Amino acid sequence: MENVCLRLDSALSKQIEKDMKEFRYSTKTEFIREAIRSKLKELEEERKRNEGWKALVAARGIFKGKGKAKTYEEWLKWRAENSEKAVKELAKEYGWKL
């Protein structure tokens, strides 16, 4: 395990101590580790959302000018005809293995 030295202003330190007691953390280290894990998870989720949006934008570009379905049945037909192409294009774009 690596040691990291961290300086906190007194107001932040007092807030941590208050929250530690309220949420039953035994040490500041435990509290800070959990906060870091939570932030890293949040950033990973944001990264996934951003990749999803990029994929949607790329998919939209693949079919630009192909027209839009006016009914649900037209949508199902269009999706059946074009989904394989979209998956291949997105896999190529993002380096996914199929």
Predicted confidence (pLDDT) per residue in 36-94, tens digit: 999 999 999 888 877 776 766 666 655 665 556 667 777 778 778 888 887 888 888 88
Name residues whose C-beta falls within 8 Å of residue 21's C-beta, 6 or more positions apart in sequence: none
Q: Burial letters for 41-55: b for 16+ Cβ neighbours within 10 Å, e otherwise?
A: eeeeeeeeeeeeeeb
Q: In total, how many domains does the chain have? A: 1
In a domain, 3, yes or no: no
Instruction: Give the SS3 label for residue 13.
Output: helix
Name residues whose C-beta falls within 8 Å of residue 25's C-beta, 6 or more positions apart in sequence: 19, 31, 34
In a domain, 29, yes or no: yes
In a domain, 90, yes or no: yes
What is the model's pLDDT at position 91?
82
What is the model's pLDDT at position 81?
80
In a domain, 5, yes or no: no
What is the model's pLDDT at position 62?
56
Interatomic CA distance for residues 58 and 92, integer angstroms: 11
What is the model's pLDDT at position 57?
63
In a domain, 69, yes or no: yes
pLDDT in tens, 25-37: 999 999 999 999 9
Give residue 54's domain range: 10-94
Whether the pTM exceeds 0.85: the reply is no
In a domain, 2, yes or no: no
What is the model's pLDDT at position 34?
95
Name residues whose C-beta falls within 8 Å of residue 92's C-beta, 6 or more positions apart in sequence: none
What is the model's pLDDT at position 48?
81
> Is residue 29 exposed (0-12), middle (13-18) or buried (19+ Cβ within 10 Å)?
exposed
